[in-house]
Amino acid sequence: MKKTGFICDESYFWHDTGNGALFMPPGGYIETDVHSENPATKRRFKNLLEISGLMEKLDQIKPRPASVEEVKFYHGESYINKVKELSEIGFGDAGELALVGKGSYEIALLSAGGAITAVEAVVNGKVDNAYALTRPPGHHAEADLGMGFCLFNNVAIAAKYARNVLGLERVMILDWDVHHGNGTESAFYDDPNVLFVSLHQERLYPPGRGKREDIGKGDGLGRTVNIPLPAGTGNAGYLHALQEVVGPIADQFKPELILISAGQDPGMFDPLARMMVNAEGFRQMTRFMLDLADKHCNGKLVACHEGGYSAAYVPFCSLAIVEEMSGIRTDVEDPFGEAFKDLPIEELYDIQKDYVAKVKEVQSAFWNFTVKA
């Protein structure tokens, strides 16, 4: 059993993205509905942790706000001020689909600070690993532009904190959110000391990002690894990518800390994607990453919540992750498992293998891969 930290704060659920339909604002022929990035998926996950009895077995850690100087590890001062001004006004867009509500600036500082708190607790040995249920999410946020529901890039800031303040030399970030982690990629594109790996649905969001040929630049060549996967990929396809690409590269990079941008939107019911990972698949991916952390960095692993927009299903996927991190199994079973047992979730298709093989071809110039003719 591991000592697992859990970081959350009620204010995370108070970040206001307003009304909408999926990600569009209401108006014209779009009837008012609930915005996709609303508190429900995260709050229901927290509720499930509590009702299952798992919460009381976790080490609950109160997050602190990130300082402006810490946010400036990645973001420009003018952008930080823009988010603050919009927050004071009460509503606005900090870039592209990056909505700011009243008080969102302070909440976003606490979200970034939650990721830092988790990293600090793990690196300093207070806990073995940690899950940060942060909101707003962060992985799309660029240095001077909010994107895709993200204001400050929580994981990028936390990774830079690990390097700049805690003195770690090598940090690995795995982003399994179904959308490409463009902001995190940008933060470390020329950095040889941070390995960024993104598994995502091909050509989804943002447009033009996450191509397998995007491999970093300068001293960071080969330190960016994009693994686009075809729509319909399930547990077997994701695990294949981890085994064939992520594991071998991590073995060569030898990280001192592993961060996961844990977006549960590859889940089979997500309204903003077309993947077929179930709760058991997230458990398997977590187990794989925990094994890598045990192998290379004494188990030091932090997961930060990103996307996931099925209020009914995200809680079960996220619970499976925390169960695996802690080594504690509750009596909660996936209530949707039996109904969808005939979906090809555990089948590995040739097209999925081909996508992964092409990534290995691209990365073989930088990592020790044997590429089959």
pLDDT tens, residue by residue, 332-350? 999 998 888 899 999 999 9
Give domain limits for the chain. Answer: 4-363
Contacts of 88 (CB under 8 A, 6+ apart): 105
Asked whether the beta carbons of 54 and 319 are under 8 A apart, the reply is: yes
Annotated catalytic residues are 140
Which residue is it, tokens 């080490």? 59
Mean pLDDT along residues 172-197: 98
pLDDT higher at 326 or 34? 326
CA-CA distances (angstroms) from residue 12 to 113, 136, 231, 344?
12, 7, 31, 36
d(CA 250, CA 247): 5
Asked whether the beta carbons of 291 and 250 are under 8 A apart, the reply is: no
Predicted TM-score (pTM) above 0.95: yes
d(CA 227, CA 204): 13
Half-sphere exposure of 64 (CA within 13 A, CB side): 11
Q: What is the CATH number of domain 4-363?
A: 3.40.800.20
- Token pair, residue 157, equals 């800031």
Residues forming a β-bridge with 172:
195, 258
Asked whether the beta carbons of 8 and 133 are under 8 A apart, the reply is: yes
Mean pLDDT along residues 207-233: 98
- Token pair, residue 316, equals 């079960």
pLDDT tens, residue by residue, 92-108? 999 999 999 999 999 99
Q: What is the pLDDT, as a whole number, of residue 22?
A: 87
Half-sphere exposure of 26 (CA within 13 A, CB side): 10
The rounded mean pLDDT for the chain is 96
Contacts of 163 (CB under 8 A, 6+ apart): 169, 171, 193, 194
